[in-house]
Amino acid sequence: MKLEGRRIFRGKTTGEVLFSSEDISFYGGCDPETGEIVEKSHPLEGKSVSGKVLVFPTGKGSTVGSYVLYALSKAGMAPLAIVNEATDPVVAVGCIIGEIPAIDQINIDKLEDGQKVEVDADAGVISILEQ
């Protein structure tokens, strides 16, 4: 199955979905060195976004969050790609400066944890390879 959206930042990658039904604040909500979600009672609390196709509705919180995505990228701990319903400016800028492939305008309810997917951000398409 293919889902069509819009390119936020270029790139192509294949990986496993880490799904969050809740918005993510990278500043204060995600450890910039390990990629672990540290926001209390967040559905992803204790899980690392590193090396995953990170799927969540939209970003929230401080604009400093862009630098957290940049830090993760520099440390080799960034998500492989980011998929949103609607990308907010903090996450968009973080993906650009951290060079993380990203797409939005995706109906994320079609995605779930552990699926293997291909993200073609240039075309704005995510393909589910294995359930």
Partner 1 sequence: MISLGLRLTAEEEEMLDGRRGNATAKAMEIITTLGEIYGAERLIPVSSVQIAGVSYHNLGEAGLEYLAEMAEDGQTRVLTTLNPAGMDLEEWKKHGISPDFAANQKRVIEAFAKMGVITTCTCTPYLVGNLPHYGEHIAWAESSAVAFANSVIGARTNREGGPSALAAALTGRTAEYGLHLDENRHAEVKYEIETELHNTDDFGLLGQVIGNRTKNAIPYIAGVPRATSEELKSFCASIATYGGVALFHIEKITPNRTPIPEKIETVTKSDLDNARKELDDEGATIDFISVGCPHASIGEIARIAEMLDGKKVSEKKTVWITTAKPTKDLAIKMGYYDKIEEAGAYLVSDACCAVAPLKGRFTGLMTDSAKACFYARGKNNFKTEIRTVEECIEEAIS
Quick one: which of 10, 41, 39 has its CA closest to 25?
Answer: 39
- The Cα 131–Cα 118 span in angstroms is 12
Subset of 65-104 contacting partner 1 (CB under 8 A): 66-68, 70-71, 74, 87, 89-90, 92-93, 96-97, 104
Q: Which of 62, 66, 73, 127 is catalytic?
A: 62
The one-character DSSP state at 104 is: E
Which residue from 37, 130, 21 is spatially nearest to 77, judged by alpha carbons? 37
Size of the site for partner 1 (CB under 8 A): 23
Q: Note whether 7 binds partner 1 by CB under 8 A.
A: yes
Of residues 110 through 129, those in contact with partner 1 by CB under 8 A are: 122
Question: Toward partner 1, which CB reaches closer, 93 or 108?
Answer: 93
Q: Where are the beta strands (DSSP E) in the chain?
A: 2-4, 6-9, 12-19, 53-56, 81-84, 102-104, 116-120, 125-130
Query: Residue 62 catalytic?
Result: yes
- The answer to the question of residue 34 lying near partner 1 (CB under 8 A) is no
12 counts as binding partner 1 under rule CB under 8 A: no
Pick 1 or 74: Cβ nearer partner 1 = 74
Taking the C-alpha atoms of residue 8 and residue 10, their distance in angstroms, rounded to an integer, is 7
User: Which residues of the shown chain bind partner 1 in the complex (CB under 8 A)?
Assistant: 6-10, 32, 63-64, 66-68, 70-71, 74, 87, 89-90, 92-93, 96-97, 104, 122
